[in-house]
């Protein structure tokens, strides 16, 4: 007997579940090495962090480019990093190699 075909939706659901289990609150100060390497990406609170992680994992350049053009995704700026560092902020984070996606918690300091 052969294996049943794997549907794209099943793969995406499995990826979404995997990313959900890898998402956590973390102190911004713990992510300084990623920021220094230019690999910390700020995700607007208007977007779902997991939706962005799935799009990046699937190399959905069209969607990612649109979000970037709208200013909803960007490498963390020096000003934002300093603000978070100075205020000892916790962020939501998930790794989509080589990037670390970070998003403000509701009580976190919003970008300038």
Q: Model confidence over 85-103: pLDDT tens digits?
A: 999 999 999 999 999 999 9
pTM for the whole structure: 0.82
Q: Write the DSSP string, the chain.
A: -PPPPPPHHHHHHHHHHHHHHH-EEEEGGGGHHHHHTT-EEEE-TTS-HHHHHHHHHTT-HHHHHHHHHTTSEEEPPHHHHHHHHHTT-EEEEEEETTEEEEEE-TTSPPP-
| Cα distance between residue 28 and residue 91, in whole Å | 6
Q: Model confidence over 39-88: pLDDT tens digits?
A: 999 999 999 999 999 999 999 999 999 999 999 999 999 999 999 999 99
| Cα distance between residue 34 and residue 42, in whole Å | 12
């Amino acid at each position: 007997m052969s294996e049943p075909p794997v549907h794209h939706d099943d793969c995406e659901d499995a990826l979404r579940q995997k990313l959900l289990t890898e998402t956590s609150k973390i102190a911004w100060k713990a992510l300084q090495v990623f920021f220094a390497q230019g690999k910390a990406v700020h995700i607007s609170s208007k977007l779902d962090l997991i939706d962005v992680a799935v799009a990046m994992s699937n190399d959905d350049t069209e969607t990612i480019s649109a979000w970037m053009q709208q200013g909803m995704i960007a490498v963390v700026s020096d000003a934002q990093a300093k603000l978070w560092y100075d205020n000892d902020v916790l962020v939501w984070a998930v790794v989509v190699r080589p990037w670390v996606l970070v998003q403000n918690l509701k009580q976190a300091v919003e970008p300038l």
